[in-house]
Chains A and B, each alone.
Chain A
Amino acid sequence: MHIWAVVRCDSAEPGRFGNEYLDSDLDPIVRFDADGNAVESFGGGMFIWPHGLFVDEESNVWVTDAVNPARTPEGSRGHQVIKFSSTGEELMRLGIPGKAGKGDYQFNSPADVVIGDNGNIFIADGHNPDGNNRVMVYNKDGEFLRTWGQTGYAPGEFHALHAMAIDKKGRLFIADRFNNRLQIFDQDGTFIAQWTQFGRPSGVFFDDHGNIYVSDSESDNVQNPGYEMGIRIGEAETGWVNYFIMLPNGDPRSTRGNGAEFVTVDAAGNVYGGEPFSRKVQKYVRVRP
């Protein structure tokens, strides 16, 4: 068992959240063993703000660079999605380095990436609420296929696509964070449904038992009043929420966002949250049936 994670460098200076790797060559892509020890890493010098990560069926590791355009200097990094082998060999790049844009092969702070069963590449473009707000789709060779979405709050419109995941039925779930909802599509972009019962979604994950895990790092008195930060666990088929791991010490008066932005689950059912501000991969073990 191992857990892959994007771990940014330790930039303690105020205001560095969002471009921590600008002046660092440390490796941001890290593999942890079952005991939480970092045992492998790569990707140093290739990102400014590594963000989304996906491990495909062939164990390749895909990572997005979601740096904001205003914080992107001229150069060879930013606004890209990079595919690595499991040992860190670069296999593919999508996006124009250092240049945010709206072209078919350009992104604006791509937040996440996921690969379909047929190898198609889905990219959440992207992180900024005033950005492209669209889904980009490529075939397995990186050739553009289609796109959908624009800024807004109607079905099929987005306000910051923070994460994506595909369930066992092939439905594409998108964490439409600033709209406080999950949107569900088929892989051609046809809208299926929207769910709000999982809070203000930052991350989405499906296990092999029909469960959906949604991390909510930003619900507070301003951005999603009435909801608490934490990880909600429910049924992928019906959307029914069954469990809630509330963020300890989560304060709804703070709009900083403190909880897990991303979530994954190992084969034993342990839950792992990627927490930016507390700087840790938080593990949760199940202690009740």
Chain B
Amino acid sequence: MRFIVVLLSFVLSNLILSGQTYPNPYRAVDTWSKFPDGRKMGAVGDV
């Protein structure tokens, strides 16, 4: 019985801790957006 309680506590604590640990299959591409005429990028809104 004690083993089951410990096991459940372990599983539940990991579920809580992993609440946002979803996989990320993406990688960022640096400096993708640019203006050819020297204009600086400003704040970007909707895309």
Contacts and interface: CB of A to CB of B under 8 A. Distances in A.
A283 B44 contact: no
Interface of B: 19-29, 31-36, 39-47
Nearest to B26: A284
A219 to B, nearest CB: 10
A285 B24 CA distance: 11
Nearest to B39: A26
Contacts of A169: none
Given A243-B23, A283-B28, A287-B25, A36 B44 contact: no
26 contacts: A5-B45, A6-B47, A7-B41, A11-B42, A17-B43, A26-B39, A36-B31, A36-B34, A37-B36, A38-B39, A50-B45, A51-B46, A52-B45, A63-B46, A228-B20, A244-B22, A244-B24, A263-B47, A274-B47, A280-B41, A281-B47, A283-B33, A284-B26, A284-B28, A285-B27, A288-B23
A279 B41 contact: yes
Contacts of B39: 10, 26, 38
Nearest to B37: A38
8 smallest A-B Cβ distances: which pairs? A6-B45, A288-B25, A53-B46, A281-B33, A276-B43, A36-B32, A10-B40, A8-B42
A129 B32 CA distance: 33
Contacts of B35: 38
Interface of A: 3-11, 17, 20, 26, 32, 35-38, 50-54, 63, 112, 163, 203, 226-228, 232, 241-246, 248, 261-264, 271-277, 279-289
Given A7-B43, A17-B43, A35-B32, 9 more contacts: A5-B46, A6-B47, A7-B44, A10-B40, A36-B33, A38-B33, A228-B20, A273-B47, A283-B32
Given A37-B34, A284-B29, A245 B24 contact: yes
B24 to A, nearest CB: 5
Contacts of A280: 31-33, 41, 44
Nearest to B40: A10
A136 B14 CA distance: 44
Given A5-B33, A36-B32, A280-B32, A289 B25 contact: yes
Contact of B28 (A36, A248, A264): A248
Contacts of A285: 26-27, 29
Nearest to A53: B46
A232 B22 contact: yes
Contacts of A11: 42
Contacts of B47: 3-6, 53, 262-264, 272-274, 281
A264 to B, nearest CB: 5
Contacts of B34: 36-38
